[in-house]
Structures are given as structure tokens and as C-alpha cells.
């Protein structure tokens, strides 16, 4: 809509079923759906089209770093979404939420800071270009009075 390319949901390639517990970081590409528990970070850093769907039963004890995320479960850690965050009525984040676009349903909880990051901003830890003026060699010229 409005001339922007809308990305499709894509296929779920990673599924963590209810009753499953993973200890350690989860790295994935494509779509990931979690009904179980992940004791570690959930990251999709190689796929710009990746998305995470965390169901009402799903829990992540660690940070989440994905382009797009739909949360209905609990995250005990920071959430970094470079594109879109959708929070359902049962979503609960205990940590900071870094987002570009946010959709939030009544009932969702965020126990931390909301930090808006536009797509033009560098990711955390990358220095921003300096706004300082470049030195002008003409300004460094010293002119002494004639004797």
C-alpha cells in the first residue's frame, strides 16, 4: 500500500513445538514459530525476510533479534526488530523493545523502554557519521603582518 513493497509471510521453516525446551541460542532463516521454550537468544541475522511468531504458550529467556516479529507469548530479554513488531493481547516483554514499526493490541505488556529506530540509523554499536565540519585548509593558513 502507498507504493511500499509488502513482504509476504513466507514459509515456516523452523518449528519449536509445545513441550519442547531448547537450551542455547536459536539461529534461523525464513519463518520460525515457537510454542515451546527457548533458554537463549533467538536470532535471524542472515535473512532480511525472516520473521518470528511466538505463540501464547511460547517463552524466550534471552534476547530476540529479527526483522519482523509477532509476539503473543513472553520474552525475558530485549527485542530488536528492524522492521515490524506486532504485539498480541497476551504478549509480555520484560526488557527493552527496539523497533521501526509497532502494532500493539490492548492487553500487551512491555516492562522496559520503547526505543524507536528508523531504518536509516546504524545498528547499536556502530558509530554514527559525525556532524562535525571537515577542516578547511584555508582556515589553517597563518598570515603574518608585513614588516
pLDDT in tens, 15-33: 999 999 999 999 999 999 9
Global confidence as pTM: 0.75
Residue 45's pLDDT is 86
Could you give the CA distance from residue 45 to residue 36 in angstroms, rounded to a whole number?
21
Residue 58 banded pLDDT, cuts 50, 70, 90: very high
Residues 71, 57 contacting (CB under 8 angstroms): no
Whether residue 70 is predicted with pLDDT greater than 80 in this model: the reply is yes
Whether residue 74 is predicted with pLDDT greater than 70 in this model: the reply is yes
Residue 119's pLDDT is 72
Residues 83, 68 contacting (CB under 8 angstroms): yes
For residue 32, what is its C-alpha cell?
520460525
Q: Which residue has the cell 530476540?
A: 64
Residues 7, 49 contacting (CB under 8 angstroms): yes
pLDDT tens digits, one per residue of 85-142: 999 999 999 999 999 999 999 999 999 999 999 876 555 555 554 444 445 545 554 5
Distance of CA 133 to the CA centre of its chain: 32
pLDDT tens digits, one per residue of 36-48: 999 999 999 889 9
Could you give the CA distance from residue 102 to residue 94 in angstroms, rounded to a whole number?
17
Maximum pairwise Cα distance, the chain: 91
Residue 10's pLDDT is 74
Three-state DSSP at 135 gives: coil
Amino acid at each position: 500500500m502507498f507504493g511500499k513493497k509488502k513482504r509476504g509471510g513466507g514459509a515456516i521453516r523452523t518449528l519449536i513445538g509445545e513441550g519442547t525446551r531448547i537450551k542455547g541460542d536459536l539461529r534461523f532463516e525464513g519463518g520460525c514459530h515457537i510454542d515451546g521454550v527457548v533458554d537463549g537468544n533467538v536470532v535471524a541475522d542472515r535473512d532480511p525476510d525472516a520473521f518470528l511468531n511466538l505463540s501464547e504458550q511460547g517463552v524466550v529467556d534471552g534476547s530476540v533479534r529479527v526483522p519482523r516479529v509477532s509476539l503473543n507469548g513472553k520474552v525475558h530479554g530485549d527485542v530488536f526488530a528492524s522492521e515490524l513488531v506486532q504485539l498480541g493481547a497476551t504478549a509480555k516483554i520484560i526488557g527493552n523493545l527496539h523497533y521501526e514499526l509497532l502494532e500493539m493490541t490492548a492487553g500487551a505488556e512491555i516492562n522496559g523502554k520503547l526505543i524507536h529506530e528508523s531504518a536509516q540509523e546504524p545498528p547499536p554499536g556502530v558509530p554514527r557519521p559525525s556532524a562535525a565540519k571537515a577542516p578547511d585548509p584555508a582556515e589553517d593558513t597563518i598570515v603574518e603582518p608585513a614588516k
